[in-house]
Amino acid sequence: MILPIVVYGSPVLRSENAEIDANHPDTKKLIADMFATMYAAEGVGLAAPQVGRNVRLFVVDVTPWADEEPELADFRRAFINPVIHWSSDEESLYNEGCLSLPNLHEDVSRPVTIRMRYLDENFEPHDEEFTGRPARVIQHEYDHLEGKVFTDLLSPLRRTLIKSKLAGFSKGKYKAAYRTK
């Protein structure tokens, strides 16, 4: 089921997100719905608060980049209760966007490599290193679980320059090619 995507300005994107218990009945369904919603919006990552669910879960599918990076050909995953416990000092800039901030793109600096503990969709624990584009998408989605969005990471000057655009999201002044709320 395709769910509407919550747009910037909603308190849902700033709320605390609870860990998911393995006995939680609808986790599989939520994960399937989040993948469907992400694909419908042509995104590469989606976090649960973006579909109005304040739980620590996000999905990532970076296979659209497999043309350039063949090792990403099967990188389609769900991450539950993730904890980033190491980040590289080395950072890189990347032009990011977010389904909750339609048509806004800004260069964001982030660590190139991270290590993260998480549960997969079968609630199996992992501790894994990610680098390059997967690390980029994972950090972006992880921020959503911390109540942050990518524009929070911009310089004060840059944020001032996009202030009216950000204010416009709350007032419904945006166009999205997918269902929002």
**Residue nearest to Ni ion according to CB distances in the complex:** 98
Say how far apart CA 50 and CA 171 lie, in whole Å: 18
- Check residue 34 for interaction with Ni ion (CB under 5 A): no
Say how far apart CA 73 and CA 68 lie, in whole Å: 10
Taking contact as CB under 5 A, which single stretch among the options 12-20, 95-103, 121-129, 167-175 is the one that binds Ni ion?
A: 95-103
What is the nearest approach in angstroms of Ni ion to the Cβ of residue 112? 19
State the number of binding residues for Ni ion (CB under 5 A).
Answer: 1
Of the CA atoms within 13 Å of residue 50, those in its CB half-sphere come to 30
Residue 155 CB: number of other CB atoms within 10 A? 10
Residue recorded with tokens 């993260």: 116
Q: Closer to Ni ion at the Cβ: 72 or 98?
A: 98
Query: Could you tell me how far CA 134 lies from the centroid of its own chain?
Result: 11
Taking contact as CB under 5 A, which single stretch among the options 16-24, 33-41, 92-100, 169-177 is the one that binds Ni ion?
A: 92-100
Say how far apart CA 34 and CA 27 lie, in whole Å: 10
What is the nearest approach in angstroms of Ni ion to the Cβ of residue 108? 11
Which residues participate in catalysis according to the annotation? Answer: 141
Q: Is the four-CA dihedral 11, 12, 13, 19 of positive or negative sign? A: positive
Q: Closer to Ni ion at the Cβ: 30 or 153?
A: 153
- Interface residue with Ni ion among 12, 13, 34, 98 (CB under 5 A) is 98
Instruction: Please report, as ranges, the residues that interact with Ni ion according to CB under 5 A.
Output: 98
